[in-house]
Amino acid sequence: MSLEFVQLDLAVPLYQIGLLLFISTLTLLFGRLRLSLIVNYIFTLHWGYTLNRDILVGQGLESLSAFTAAYFGFGIAIVLLAVLGFLAASNH
């Protein structure tokens, strides 16, 4: 493991943190715990890969490694499976 990932600074805009706090609070107030989990996971995935992509993978698409692409793909797959699981689960 290289030291670049140990000392990495990621920039997250304050308005996005406020938006996440607002959406999470609303979903939790209305008792939608599963929706709140999905919202938080999607924001985290967005901050880690979309917003700070140039820091994580370099300046060009050619520097995107297969591991990073597979990791992001698995992240999207987890979101889709969680949404399907949450929709299919019964609320007893």
Nearest C-alpha neighbor of 57 from the set 14, 3, 4: 4
**Pair of tokens at residue 2:** 């290289």
**Backbone dihedral angles phi then psi of residue 24, each to the nearest 5 degrees:** -65, -40
12 Cβ neighbours under 8 A, 6+ residues apart: 47, 51
In this structure, the number of other CB atoms found within 10 A of the CB of residue 46 comes to: 14
- What percent of the chain clears pLDDT 90, i.e. is strictly above it? 16
Confidence of residue 38 (pLDDT cuts 50, 70, 90): confident
Does the pLDDT at position 58 exceed 80?
Answer: no
**pLDDT one-digit tens code per residue, 63-80:** 566 776 777 788 888 888
Does the pLDDT at position 52 exceed 90?
Answer: no
What is the C-alpha to C-alpha distance for residues 47 and 39, in angstroms, rounded to an integer? Answer: 12
**Pair of tokens at residue 90:** 């019964």
Does the pLDDT at position 60 exceed 80?
Answer: no
